[in-house]
Every structure is written in C-alpha cells, then in structure tokens.
C-alpha cells in the first residue's frame, strides 16, 4: 500500500511538473517541455533537455497578434456614429441659439467637422473638432443608408448656414440641422 502511494505521488509530481512547463512561454530553454522526471525525452545524446536550434513556429496567439498589428485598423478605435451625431446636434443647437454671427458660424463649423470627420470634404482644421476621437465622421461611420441620407441633409443645412451673411438665416439653418440630427428624426 505504501509503495502504491509513493508511486502515485511520484507520478502526480512528474505530471504536474510537465503541465507547469507546458504552460510556460514558447521561447524557453526546454522546447520539448521535458520534466526532470522524464530524462531523454528530447532524444539528445547527453540526456539533457536541450535540442539543436530550430525555427520557431509562431503560436496561434502570436500569429493573431502579428496579424492585428499589420491589418489596417478602423478609422478610429472609438468609432460611434451615434455619439458623433449627438455631438453635431448639440452644436447645431448652440449655433441656433448664439447671440452673434461669429459664435453661430463657429458652432456650424463644429457640426460640419463632426459629420464629415478629419478626412472628409469640408472639414476645417482651423476650427475645433468636438468629435475628435469619436470616429471618422458620422457620415462615413454610419452604415444605414437612411441615416446617411439624413446626415447629408443636415450637412447641407449647416453648410447653407455657413454661406449666409444673415444671422437669422444662419440660425434657422442651424435649427433645421439640429432637427435632422435629433435621434427621433433618424
């Protein structure tokens, strides 16, 4: 009975050592995952666990990681057209309520910047981009055709407000853009 227990303990110890080594990183000095209890498992003449240098085959995890590094990344990590649209709607509302033409146009520029994104037509880098780090622009980030159409209409209203020299007209265009950008209208 004592002999059976000792053999069982020895076998469990050897097995747990082999398991622990199998969980170790791939680039270790024991590439065959041999435990000390299992001498000559590598077949090397000196009985050590060392083997001749060989080409390292990447693990699945390494391959996936390397592929992720080289694959084209999405425009922004936090792409969210809903957030971009809400931010554009907020600035359209600010433009509609502004008390002077400078502020109205500034907020209309913010609307345009949120809708088209930094790479889009009409983006004005000299104006702030309140949608920075939210995505590549609500229009390009949206996949729904109906929403894209509505966003383009809002963009047209914001651009019309930017072109006018009349404060009331610019505010009406901003209010129209805000209405189009409000979620219940999308």
Same domain as 111, residue 57: no
Q: Is the pLDDT of residue 123 over 80?
A: yes
Same domain as 171, residue 86: yes
Same domain as 55, residue 22: yes
Same domain as 57, residue 95: no
In terms of Cβ atoms closer than 10 Å to its own Cβ (0-12, 13-18, 19+), residue 139 is buried
The whole domain housing 174 covers 81-185
Same domain as 137, residue 55: no
Residue 7: inside a domain: yes
For residues 104 and 170, is the Cβ–Cβ distance under 8 A?
A: yes
Residue 135: inside a domain: yes
For residues 151 and 132, is the Cβ–Cβ distance under 8 A?
A: no
pLDDT band at 24 (very low <50, low <70, confident <90, very high): very low
- Residue at a domain's end among 70, 97, 113: 70
Please, what is the Cα angle at 183 between 100 and 122, to 5 degrees? 50
Same domain as 115, residue 47: no
Among the ranges given (10-19, 93-102, 144-153), the one the predictor scored with the smallest mean pLDDT: 10-19
- pTM score, two decimals? 0.58
pLDDT at 127: 94
Q: At what angle do helices 101-116 and 167-181 cross, to 10 degrees?
A: 30
Residue 33: inside a domain: yes
| Domain total of the chain | 2
- Residue at a domain's end among 15, 47, 70: 70
pLDDT at 79: 77
Q: Is the pLDDT of residue 104 over 70?
A: yes
Q: Is the pLDDT of residue 177 over 60?
A: yes
Residue 59: inside a domain: yes
Same domain as 88, residue 65: no
Higher pLDDT, 20 or 161: 161
Residue 76: inside a domain: no
Kindly state the DSSP code that residue 183 receives in the 8-state scheme.
G
Q: Is the pLDDT of residue 58 over 70?
A: no
Among the ranges given (17-21, 69-73, 86-90), the one the predictor scored with the smallest mean pLDDT: 69-73
Q: Is the pLDDT of residue 175 over 60?
A: yes
Residue 75: inside a domain: no
Same domain as 151, residue 126: yes
> How far is 102 from 171, CA to CA, in rounded Å?
12
Hunting for tokens 């969980």 — which residue is that? 23
Q: Phi and psi at residue 52, in whole multiples of 5°?
A: -65, 150
> How far is 133 from 174, CA to CA, in rounded Å?
24
pLDDT band at 29 (very low <50, low <70, confident <90, very high): low
> How far is 43 from 53, CA to CA, in rounded Å?
14
Q: What percent of the chain has pLDDT over 70?
A: 57
Same domain as 48, residue 29: yes
């Amino acid at each position: 009975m004592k002999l059976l227990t000792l053999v069982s303990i020895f076998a469990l110890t050897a097995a747990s050592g082999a398991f622990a080594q199998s969980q170790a990183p791939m680039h270790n000095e024991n590439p065959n995952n041999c435990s000390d209890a299992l001498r000559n498992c590598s077949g090397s003449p000196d009985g050590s666990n060392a083997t001749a240098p060989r080409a390292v085959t990447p693990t699945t995890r390494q391959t996936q990681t390397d592929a992720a590094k080289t694959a084209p990344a999405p425009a922004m990590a936090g792409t969210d057209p809903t957030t971009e649209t809400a931010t554009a709607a907020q600035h359209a509302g600010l433009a509609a309520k502004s008390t002077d033409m400078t502020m109205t146009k500034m907020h209309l520029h913010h609307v345009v910047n949120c809708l088209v994104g930094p790479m889009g037509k009409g983006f004005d880098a000299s104006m702030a981009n309140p949608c920075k780090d939210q995505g590549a622009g609500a229009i390009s980030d949206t996949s729904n055709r109906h929403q894209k159409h509505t966003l383009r209409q809002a963009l047209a209203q914001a651009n019309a407000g930017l072109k006018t020299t009349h404060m009331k007209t610019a505010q009406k265009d901003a209010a129209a853009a805000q209405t189009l950008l409000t979620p219940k209208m999308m």
